Amino acid sequence: MRAPVISSWFGRGQVAAPPDIESAALRSDRFRLEREGEWRRLEDILARMERGGLKRIADDDLVALPTLYRTAASSLSVARETSLDAATLSYLEALVQRAWFQVYGPRQGFVRWLRGFIFGGWSRAVRALWLDICVALFVMVAGTIVGWLLVARDEAWYYRLYPAGGDDPRVPGASREQLLETLGHDEGAFGLAGFAAQLFSNNSGVCILAFALGFAFGIPSLMLLVHNLALLGALLWLFNGQGLVVELAAWLSVHGTTELFGILLSGAAGLHIGRAMAFPGRLPVLEAAAAAGRRSAVVMVGVVIMMIVAALLEAFPRQLVEDTASRFVIGGTMLVFWLSYFILYRPAPQDAG
């Protein structure tokens, strides 16, 4: 057989290709011709799926898709081992990558994911952290009590716990009228949208920090919970001294039942990761931490939603509603809603296929 003619890099003449190059070209052509029909069929099925999903695919093609994918993957493996031409190799790599995504890739878009997350996924993830939530709740209650007892013993602790500004009247020695004035409002709804954005940023920062510190066996997360709730205990002590603890509780309940719940879940999520690292069980430490991280990440996505709700409640109803009973109604309603969603709402898991 006459060797193919190729252009010389060093002149205008033409020289015959060496026998080994000719042999490799023939092997590549033969390899492609024997399998090209299946590749083309797979490519056609993938193109229709990418344009219109499963609706454009016949049942026979859908059944054949996994087999065609495995055949293409096997062809790619052979092409790499035998050093076939670069064009064939590139074509097969792109084809196998597209086929893998259709066979094993995600089957749901964002809207479907969000629906599954809200209608069951989030609540299931929270219930999976029940032990960590119990520990975090105990730590938060203990932190509130510690904060109260510290400032009751020594008022200097109040200034260490509560970062009061120079013009903040919420300090030891403040009169009843001064403290009561801080529970009202004097600017109406003006500027409350910006206030809500600021509150969301602050609250989210605390939650993310409580979650992120979980890698150190959860201890920093628990310490952060103690610190934040000790501040609450100090405030309760201050207002209780003027007989305003009920008014303060109502004022806090509007947003606090959502905000504190979110902080509780953030601390529990961080603790869950730390506990998995400290006590991985039968799994390697990294695998146990990764599994715990996936569960905790689902919880944290929901915490962001809770912080948005808390910021809106803190900026609008808490500032615009001054009646103590009405504030308790709003806060109590939110608490019942969250408890019902996380504990009582248990839909069956949806098919993700």
CA distances from 70 to 4, 53, 67, 136 (A): 34, 20, 5, 49
What is the mean pLDDT of the segment spanning 221-237? 91
Q: In terms of domains, do 83 and 169 share one?
A: no
Tell me, yes or no, whether 353 lies in a domain: no
Q: Which of 331, 135, 182, 177 is nearest to 250 (CA)?
A: 331
d(Cα 221, Cα 275) in Å, to the nearest integer? 11
Tell me, yes or no, whether 246 lies in a domain: yes
Tell whether the model's pLDDT for residue 205 goes beyond 60. yes
Of 73, 104, 135, the residue that ends a domain is: 104
Q: Which residue has the higher pLDDT, 336 or 12?
A: 336
Of 62, 77, 104, the residue that ends a domain is: 104
Q: Long-range CB contacts (< 8 A, 24+ apart) of 205-208?
A: 206/263, 206/266, 207/262, 207/263, 207/265, 207/266, 207/300, 207/303, 207/304, 207/307, 208/266, 208/300
139 three-class SS = helix
Q: In terms of domains, do 246 and 323 share one?
A: yes
Q: Tokens for 180, please give them.
A: 């009561």
Question: pLDDT tens digits, residue range 271-283?
Answer: 999 999 888 888 8
Dihedral sign (CA 132, 134, 136, 138): negative
Whether the CB-CB separation of 230 and 163 falls below 8 Å is answered with no
Q: How confident is the model at residue 54 (pLDDT cuts 50, 70, 90)?
A: low
Q: In terms of domains, do 147 and 273 share one?
A: yes
Q: In terms of domains, do 194 and 146 share one?
A: yes
Tell whether the model's pLDDT for residue 188 goes beyond 60. no
Q: In terms of domains, do 184 and 239 share one?
A: yes
Q: In terms of domains, do 150 and 280 share one?
A: yes
Tell me, yes or no, whether 349 lies in a domain: no
Tell me, yes or no, whether 79 lies in a domain: yes
Q: In terms of domains, do 267 and 330 share one?
A: yes
Q: In terms of domains, do 158 and 36 share one?
A: no
d(Cα 256, Cα 163) in Å, to the nearest integer? 19
Q: Which of 161, 130, 136 is nearest to 148 (CA)?
A: 161
Of 69, 104, 139, the residue that ends a domain is: 104
d(Cα 171, Cα 238) in Å, to the nearest integer? 7
Structural domains of the chain, count: 2
Tell me, yes or no, whether 352 lies in a domain: no
Tell whether the model's pLDDT for residue 237 goes beyond 90. yes
Q: Which residue has the higher pLDDT, 271 or 48?
A: 271
Strand partners, 14: 7
d(Cα 83, Cα 7) in Å, to the nearest integer? 22
pLDDT above 90 as % of the chain: 33
Could you tell me the pTM of the whole model? 0.68
Q: Which of 25, 142, 160 is nearest to 83 (CA)?
A: 25
Q: In terms of domains, do 211 and 119 share one?
A: yes
Tell how far CA 203 is from the center of its chain.
16
Reduced 3-state DSSP string for 2-24: CCCEEECCCCCCEEECCHHHHHH
Q: How confident is the model at residue 291 (pLDDT cuts 50, 70, 90)?
A: confident
d(Cα 226, Cα 220) in Å, to the nearest integer? 10
Tell me, yes or no, whether 44 lies in a domain: yes
Outline where the chain has alpha helix (H): 19-52, 59-81, 86-104, 110-116, 122-127, 130-153, 156-161, 176-182, 192-212, 219-240, 245-278, 285-315, 317-320, 324-339
Q: Which of 222, 201, 206 is nearest to 270 (CA)?
A: 222
Tell me, yes or no, whether 351 lies in a domain: no
Range of the domain at 192: 111-344
Q: In terms of domains, do 256 and 326 share one?
A: yes
Strands 14-16 and 5-7: antiparallel
237: CB partners within 8 A, 6+ apart: 147, 148, 151, 152, 158
Q: In terms of domains, do 121 and 219 share one?
A: yes
Around Cβ 321, how many Cβ atoms within 10 Å?
17
Strand partners, 15: 6
Question: pLDDT tens digits, residue range 109-163?
Answer: 667 778 888 998 999 999 999 999 999 999 999 999 999 999 999 999 998 888 7
d(Cα 192, Cα 317) in Å, to the nearest integer? 10
271 three-class SS = helix
Q: How confident is the model at residue 11 (pLDDT cuts 50, 70, 90)?
A: very low
Tell me, yes or no, whether 191 lies in a domain: yes
Residue type at 170 in one-letter notation: R
What is the mean pLDDT of the segment spanning 28-36? 77
Q: Tokens for 10, please give them.
A: 């060093």
Q: In terms of domains, do 132 and 265 share one?
A: yes
